[in-house]
């Protein structure tokens, strides 16, 4: 403060004020506290006289950029791998709301979008880099070849002396070499099939001696292969099973309207006794099952005509459990499967209407939910989708138990490279003379 003669004045009372307190505040002693990026005039007043200065508050500069990949090694053709950038200041505080640009060092291998979504183009490596305010960070992405996989299927054909298991190397085409495992005393009237976490093939079979078993094969499977293990199952109506993430085996009893859970170990042949038996009130027949990562169990109801289509038992599931809720919108649903993102695929078979593959999105698995996507493309009125499987790249395969020479076979959908939609057509349909004669592919598994 200065008087009229220019002399500095001390000991006078001064009040302080900020013109924009959302940007900065000022204390009674003139100490500033910033609140947000912007400008504010800081004014001092004494004895009716005032003076001010413009304050500009700028963002704390970015000091480091760290990039993480949802998966640092992915199979060629994988869709939706996500890169994420974390920005920090010099003190290690996380900074939000900053502009980030993305770049791939090798576009022949992979590209990255403005939001960090990666699209693969070829086998190789590329560094995915994020840049913000002149600072950069990167992560190495490795794109690996699609592994050679084998697809297995079963023919639901009673006890006829036709192949009980068939298999071929993917991709499955009209020219594929098919290996057939013939009828035997232990391998008869095959139905559902699945793989366990150790890579063993499990197949439902009705042996000549009677009863029903899970026949376990250790690949490679050849025409001369015989089961390494046989597990007696408690009911003759079991025609579908799958493993949950904990290694438990879930089996659907079509005839007795029940769902069973069998617990490991599965290291020696024995009679399996269910540790959980679920009743299915109001069901005509359960036609499959699927268990999500949280342990919730989903069971389709063949008798559904639009309501109570899929029963959902929430974890932890015990024999006392009842359906917590139902998913709706399906008539006569067949098999079920979850994809890697937690979306649930099912099928719809309206009487006299067109069959469709449907998907319930992972955020729509709630009471009364209807399918988010209904895709009838390439299907007719006699197709029945008995089971599903995904290959390592994420393509969807469907076992069709339709009718002789009228749709029965195996269809694949290019879901590894093309998002599932209401108009996604099968990229390939496989059948052969045996399938056309029998009219039903029932079980399907890929490894």
Where is pLDDT greater, at 344 or 80?
Answer: 344
pLDDT of residue 268: 96
> Distance between CA 183 and CA 185 in Å, rounded?
7
Sorted by where each starts, the structural domains of the chain and their CATH numbers stand as 15-57 (no CATH), 64-144 (2.60.40.1080), 150-446 (2.130.10.10)
Residue with tokens 């996507």: 373
Question: From residue 30, how far is each of 10, 33, 282, 290 by CA, in Å?
Answer: 15, 10, 75, 66
What mean pLDDT comes out for the span 274-282? 94
Question: From residue 28, how far is each of 158, 197, 391, 411 by CA, in Å?
Answer: 92, 69, 69, 76
Number of alpha carbons in the 13 Å side-chain half-sphere of residue 418: 12
pLDDT of residue 437: 83
Q: In percent, how much of the chain has pLDDT > 90?
A: 74
pLDDT grade, residue 282 (50/70/90)? confident
Residue with tokens 């979008």: 113
pLDDT grade, residue 160 (50/70/90)? low
> Distance between CA 28 and CA 42 in Å, rounded?
12
pLDDT grade, residue 81 (50/70/90)? confident
Q: In percent, how much of the chain has pLDDT > 70?
A: 96
pLDDT at 13 over 90: no
> Distance between CA 348 and CA 304 in Å, rounded?
10
Tokens, residue 26? 């000022």
Q: What is the pLDDT of residues 411-443, one digit of tens each?
A: 999 998 899 999 999 999 999 988 888 888 999
The region, left, alpha or beta by phi > 0 then psi within -120 to 50, assigned to residue 133 is left
pLDDT grade, residue 403 (50/70/90)? low
pLDDT at 162 over 80: no
> Distance between CA 78 and CA 71 in Å, rounded?
10
DSSP 3-state assignment of 192? coil
What mean pLDDT is reported for the chain? 92
Q: What is the pLDDT of residues 33-43, one digit of tens each?
A: 989 889 999 99
Tokens, residue 223? 């025409």
pLDDT of residue 155: 85
* Partners of 126 in beta bridges: 141
Tokens, residue 228? 């390494």
pLDDT of residue 406: 65
139 and 67 in contact (C-beta within 8 Å)? yes
pLDDT grade, residue 306 (50/70/90)? very high
Question: Sheet of 124-132: strands edge to edge?
Answer: 73-75, 135-144, 124-132, 101-104
Q: What is the pLDDT of residues 138-155, one digit of tens each?
A: 999 999 988 889 999 998
Of 123, 219, 120, nearest to 169 by C-alpha is: 219
pLDDT at 159 over 60: no
pLDDT of residue 439: 84
Of 137, 79, 89, 136, nearest to 111 by C-alpha is: 79
**Close Cβ partners of 437 (under 8 Å, ≥ 6 residues apart):** 162, 404
Question: Sheet of 201-205: strands edge to edge?
Answer: 193-195, 201-205, 213-217, 229-232, 270-271
pLDDT grade, residue 50 (50/70/90)? confident
Q: How wide is the angle at C-alpha 264 spanned by C-alphas 260 and 269, nearest 5°?
A: 95
pLDDT at 292 over 80: yes
Least confident of 3-12, 114-123, 328-337: 3-12
pLDDT at 225 over 80: yes
pLDDT of residue 1: 62
Q: What is the pLDDT of residues 253-277, one digit of tens each?
A: 999 999 999 999 999 999 999 999 9
217 and 228 in contact (C-beta within 8 Å)? yes
């Amino acid at each position: 403060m200065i008087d009229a003669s220019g002399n500095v004045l001390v000991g006078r009372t001064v009040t302080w004020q900020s013109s924009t307190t959302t940007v900065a505040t000022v204390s009674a002693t003139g100490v500033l506290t910033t609140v947000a990026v912007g400008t504010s005039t800081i004014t001092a007043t004494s004895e009716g006289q005032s003076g001010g200065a413009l304050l500009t508050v700028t963002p704390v500069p970015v000091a480091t950029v760290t990039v993480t990949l949802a998966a640092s090694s992915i199979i060629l053709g994988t869709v939706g791998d996500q890169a994420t950038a974390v920005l920090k200041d010099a003190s290690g505080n996380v900074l939000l709301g900053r502009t980030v640009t993305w770049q791939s060092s090798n576009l022949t291998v992979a590209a990255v979008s403005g939001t960090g979504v990666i699209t693969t183009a070829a086998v190789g490596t590329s560094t995915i880099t994020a840049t913000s305010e002149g600072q950069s960070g990167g992560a190495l992405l490795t794109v690996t070849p699609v592994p050679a996989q084998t697809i297995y299927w079963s023919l639901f054909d009673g006890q006829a002396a036709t192949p009980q298991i068939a298999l071929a190397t993917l991709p499955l085409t009209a020219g594929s070499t098919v290996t057939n495992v013939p009828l035997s005393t232990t391998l008869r009237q095959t139905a559902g099939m699945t793989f366990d976490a150790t890579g063993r093939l499990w197949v439902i079979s009705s042996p000549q001696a009677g009863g029903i078993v899970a026949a376990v094969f250790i690949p490679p499977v050849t025409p001369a292969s015989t089961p390494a293990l046989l597990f007696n199952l408690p009911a003759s109506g079991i025609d579908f099973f799958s493993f949950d993430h904990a290694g438990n085996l879930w089996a659907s009893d079509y005839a007795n309207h029940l769902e069973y859970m069998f617990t490991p170990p599965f290291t020696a042949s024995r009679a399996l006794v269910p540790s959980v038996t679920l009743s299915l009130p109001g069901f005509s027949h359960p036609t499959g099952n699927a268990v999500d990562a949280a342990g919730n169990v989903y069971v389709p109801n063949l008798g559904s005509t639009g309501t109570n289509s899929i029963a959902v038992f929430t974890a932890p599931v015990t024999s006392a459990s009842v359906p917590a809720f139902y998913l709706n919108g399906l008539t006569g649903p067949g098999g079920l499967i979850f994809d890697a993102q937690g979306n649930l695929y099912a099928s719809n078979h309206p009487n006299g209407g067109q069959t469709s593959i449907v998907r319930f999105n992972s955020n729509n698995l709630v009471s009364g939910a209807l399918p988010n996507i209904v895709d009838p493309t390439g299907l007719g009125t006699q197709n029945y989708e008995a089971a599903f499987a995904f290959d390592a790249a994420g393509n969807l395969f469907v076992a069709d138990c339709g009718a002789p020479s009228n749709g029965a076979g195996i269809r694949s959908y290019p879901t590894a490279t093309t998002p599932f939609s209401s108009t996604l057509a099968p990229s390939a349909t496989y059948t052969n003379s045996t399938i056309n004669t029998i009219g039903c592919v029932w079980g399907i598994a890929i490894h």
